[in-house]
Copies of this chain bind each other. A is one copy, B any other.
Amino acid sequence: MIKRDYFLKKAEENTPPLFFEKIFPKSEKTIFLKGDSVLLDLGNHYVGHFSFDLDVVDDFFSAPVKVSIRFGEDMREIHDDHSQYRGTLSSSWLQEETFVLDHPQRFQLPRRYSCRYVQITVLETRRKTYLGNFVFTASSSANLSRLAPILTKDEELKEIDRVSCYTLKECMQSVFEDGPKRDRRLWTGDLRLEALANYHTFQNDALVRRCLYLLAAGDTNELGFLPSFIYETPRFYNGSSFLIDYALLFVVTLCDYYENTKDLQTVRDLLPVCKEQLNSFYRILDEDGVVAPQKGWYFFIDWCPGLRGRTALQGVYLYTLKRFVRLLYALDDKEKDFYEKEWADRKRISKDRLFNEEEGIFLNDADDGQRSVHSQVWMILGEALRGDEAKDALKKTMNQKDVLQPFTPYMRHYILEAMFLLGMKEEAVAYMKEIWGAMIRSGADTFYEVFVPGDPDFSPYKDRMINSLCHAWSCTPCYFIRKYLT
Contact = CB atoms under 8 A, between A and B. Distances in A.
A337 to B, nearest CB: 41
Interface string A37-70: 0000000000000000000100110111110000
Given A60-B240, A237-B56, A92 B100 contact: yes
A233 interface: yes
A90 B64 contact: yes
Contact of A90 (B63, B89, B112): B63
A62 to B, nearest CB: 7
A93 B235 contact: no
A150 to B, nearest CB: 36
A102 B98 contact: no
Contact of A91 (B59, B105, B124): B124
A235 B103 CA distance: 9
A64 B91 CA distance: 9
Contacts of A62: 90
Q: Give the number of copies in the complex.
A: 2
Interface in A449-473: none
A103 B65 contact: no
Most chain B beta-carbon contacts within 10 A, residue among A90, A93, A112, A234: A90
Interface in A231-288: 231, 233-235, 237, 239-240
A119 interface: no
Interface in A341-394: none
Interface of A is mostly: loop
Contact of A63 (B59, B63, B93, B103): B93
A259 B114 CA distance: 62
A104 interface: yes
A125 interface: yes
Contacts of A103: 233-234
A126 B466 CA distance: 15
Interface string A115-150: 000000000111000000000000000000000000
A97 B97 contact: no
Contacts of A234: 103-105
Given A103-B234, A111-B100, A90 B59 contact: no
Nearest first, the 7 A-B pairs at minimum CB distance are A63-B90, A64-B92, A92-B124, A66-B92, A60-B237, A90-B126, A60-B231
Given A64-B92, A64-B93, A92-B125, 20 more contacts: A56-B237, A60-B237, A60-B240, A63-B89, A63-B90, A63-B93, A64-B90, A64-B111, A65-B92, A66-B92, A90-B126, A97-B98, A97-B100, A98-B98, A100-B111, A102-B111, A102-B112, A104-B234, A104-B235, A105-B234
14 contacts: A60-B231, A60-B237, A60-B240, A62-B90, A63-B93, A64-B111, A66-B91, A66-B92, A92-B100, A97-B98, A100-B111, A103-B233, A104-B234, A105-B234
Interface of A: 56, 59-60, 62-66, 89-93, 97-98, 100, 102-105, 111-112, 124-126, 231, 233-235, 237, 239-240
